[in-house]
Structure formats: C-alpha cells, structure tokens
Amino acid sequence: MRNVQLNTSLLNQPIMLPNGSVIPNRLAKAATSETLATYSNNPTEKHVRLYQRWASSGIGLIITGNIMIDRRALGEPGNVVVEDERDFAILQKWAKTVTEQGSQLWAQLNHPGKQSPKGLNIRNISASAVPFEAEMQSLFATPYEATHDEIIEIIQRFGRSALICKKAGFSGVEIHAAHGYLINQFLSPLHNLRKDEWGGTPEKRRKFLLEVYKEIRKQVGADFPVAIKLNSADFQKGGFTEEDSFEVIKALSIAGIDLIEISGGTYESGVAKAPQKSSTIAREAFFIDFAQKVRAHVKTPLMVTGGFRSVEGMNQALESNAFDVVGIARLMAIDPDAPRFLLSGLNGRQTVKPIKTGIKKIDALGIMEVLWYTQQLKRISRGNEPKPNESGLWAFIKSVLRSGWGTYATQRTRSK
C-alpha cells in the first residue's frame, strides 16, 4: 500500500453522540477477542498493558473484547467476567490507562449463548435448542432452550454489568448483538424457533435485545453512552437478513441508542465476511452499502467495521456521509501504532492479509482468523511486538492446545 500523506480532516474530526458525549476523532478500535483473563475470569495487568499501548496511538475510541456478564456462560477460556465488584480495582486501572490518554474506553458486554466450546460451561442456553451446522457440531454442543426466568435474569445481568463498568470509569458500553452470540441467536429466525413472547415474529425476536437496552439505560442513565454491535446480516439461509437488521436499527434509534456499529456474519458463516461485489471491495468498507440505506432513514451515529485498508479509503468512505466512525480491529493486532499514522495522513506499517493454515476444513471455519489475531494480542499484552508473518497453522495449533487446557483449568477452578 503506498504511503502518501493525505488530507485527514475527516478522520481527525470529533463527533458528538446524541447524549452529548464527544469522541475526539473518527477512528475506533473495534472489539477483538483477547482471552487475557485468568481462568477464574479476572482481568489482569495484561489488559492494562495492551490497552495502554492502543491508547498511546491517539485513537479516539477503544471497545473492549468480550466482557461476559455471567461466569456460568463463557464464550472462551480467559474471558473477562463482570458480574460483581470483586475486580473493581483492576477495572479502574484498566479504564484509567485509556481515558487519561484522551481516548474513550467502552466495555463490550456479551453472553455467548450456545456459541461456547464443548465442556467449557456446565449448561449452554440459547433462544431455542437448535444445533450448529454439521461441520461445527464437534466443537459446539446443542444448547438448551432458555426459560423465561433465565431470560429475565440475563437482562438484569446486562444492566448490572454496565453499571459496574460505569462506576469503574469506563466511558461507555456496547451491547454485542452480532457474530452469532446470544442476542444474535434471539434475533435470527434460524436459531429462534420460539412461539412465546420472545419469538415467532420479527417484533418478538427483537424484544430480548430491546429489553437488554432498556435495562442498561435504566442502570447507567441518559448521559452515559450505550452502543450496539449489530449484524447487517448473518449470511445464513433462513437467518437474520438486512431487512430484519434495518427494522432492529429503527427500533433502537427510536429507543435512544447512542451509536450503532454495523458488522456481519457468525462463526458458522464467517465473521465480518467480505462482500462479493467488486465495487464494495474497492471502496474498502465491507458494509457501506447497507450503512447508506440506514443513513437515509436513521440519524443515529453509525460505525462501520470491516475491510478498511488505507487512510485514503477511510477518508473517502467518511466523505460519502454513509456513516460516522471508522472501525479497525485486525490492523490494531498487527500494528498497534497504526492510528498515529492514519491520523497524520499516512498508511500504517502493516496491511491486513488473509490468514490460512493450508488445511481447507480449518480455513473454512469463521473462527480460524480470530484465533490467529488473538495470538498477536497476547504478544502485545506481554510487552512484545506482534508477528505479522506468524504461521497460521502454528497459531491454530497453539490456540487449540491453549483452549483445551483453558477449558480444563476453568472446570477445575469451578470445582474448588
């Protein structure tokens, strides 16, 4: 990618959210899977080091990787869980290391539903007892259908976790409703087969999400940023479509959400799956076409994540006025200082490339590249530099071994 200095007035422009909060520029570090917590799910100094490095780049907004709301419902070994104030001191330190450098830090709150490796949780629940596709059933068990009481408890947990993060000094929270996790499972007619108040029609399928938002807003108040990460579509036959997503976005906008991050895909179909249209690929922003449709009807600030490769592409995308914030994630794993260059009108030192193991069945899994980038975050958290050319196969093997050990260690921790 050529490194030519450009006019960066748009990337450097601050943005005011509906509640009056101001993000200092238009660059955001989108959430990435980190799994840096202990096997008791406590945040550590590794989080502080990683986020200190990112914040020093001058990026306007940093969104954490999965912070789970329930120790009984983990997406991976090493997830941070915030369900009470036992880790309040390190949460405060984590938040302060970012905000004192001028960036905002938002906690991404999540529940995995059925999207959790076999054996990690005692009982996985979902909207309905729908198994994964055949090729992934060896990794993920068929879930139980959540009861009404379990649904109500989860809604309350989202609110409680958001309030704890606010008290600890985080700048905002983001609800993870994308990429095949629990809220996405409720939204999808493929995974939600219920016929009660939580399913059966598009309105009922989105009730769970809207109740989560209401509970969070009730706990944190009107002046605290609450955002959402939402799929434009799941890219699965019979699943959550662009039409479904558009209706959810309209409902959230009316409810008062502060920012909507648009992404796409699931672990089954591929996370942040690239579009097929050459015109969209050329514009870099994978989901800009959908964002343009949304922008015509919704004034809520929009963030688009996926596909950005150059400072020129980012500025051109912002000039379209289809969205307001550029989300970058994988680039931050291989070039944590990239925002410093981008905000100066220069391309970063690294370019995001496809990661392959050479084994077709593994490379077809949407989770494969997530594992490789997670390895890079672990290096940065230890104070080392990332390895942009690390073997995809070697990273996959290490991840599988670590996940196996992590599942065993998590089980042992629970049994004590």
Would you state the pLDDT for residue 274? 47
Would you state the pLDDT for residue 239? 87
SS3 342: helix
In this predicted structure, which of 5-9, 41-45, 185-189, 253-257 has the lowest mean pLDDT?
5-9
Give the whole-angstrom CA distance, residue 348 versus residue 353: 14
Residue 7 pLDDT > 80: no
pLDDT band at 416 (very low <50, low <70, confident <90, very high): low
Residue 38 pLDDT > 90: yes
| pLDDT tens string 390-401 | 888 888 888 778
Per-residue burial over 78-99, b if 16 or more Cβ lie within 10 Å, else e, is: bbbbbbeeebeebbebbbebbb
| Cβ–Cβ < 8 Å for 302, 324 | yes
Bridge partner residues of 380 (DSSP): none
Give the whole-angstrom CA distance, residue 69 versus residue 85: 12
Question: Tokens in use for 325?
Answer: 């914030």
| pLDDT tens string 252-268 | 999 999 999 998 877 66
| Cβ–Cβ < 8 Å for 120, 76 | yes
Would you state the pLDDT for residue 354? 81
Would you state the pLDDT for residue 277? 52
Whole-model pTM: value is 0.91
Contacts of 135 (CB under 8 A, 6+ apart): 361, 364
Residue the block writes with tokens 């943005």 = 15
**Closest listed residue to residue 403, CA positions, set 415, 393, 395, 392:** 395
Bridge partner residues of 23 (DSSP): 15
Q: Which residue has the higher pLDDT, 62 or 403?
A: 62
Give the DSSP H or E segment for 173.
strand 172-177
DSSP string computed for 9-73 = TTTT--EE-TTS-EESSSEEE-------S-TT----HHHHHHHHHHHTTT-SEEE-S-EES-TTS
Count other C-beta atoms under 10 Å from residue 381's C-beta: 20
pLDDT band at 271 (very low <50, low <70, confident <90, very high): low
| pLDDT tens string 159-212 | 999 999 999 999 999 999 999 999 999 999 999 999 999 999 999 999 999 999
Domains of the chain: 15-415 (3.20.20.70)
Give the whole-angstrom CA distance, residue 29 versus residue 162: 19
| Cβ–Cβ < 8 Å for 244, 187 | yes
Averaged over 314-319, what is the pLDDT?
94
pLDDT band at 366 (very low <50, low <70, confident <90, very high): low
Q: Which residue has the higher pLDDT, 2 or 369?
A: 369
Averaged over 52-62, what is the pLDDT?
98
Angle at 270 between CA 266 and CA 271, to 5 degrees: 65
Residue 30 pLDDT > 90: yes
Chain mean pLDDT for the chain: 91
Give the DSSP H or E segment for 161.
helix 148-168
Give the whole-angstrom CA distance, residue 30 versus residue 374: 14
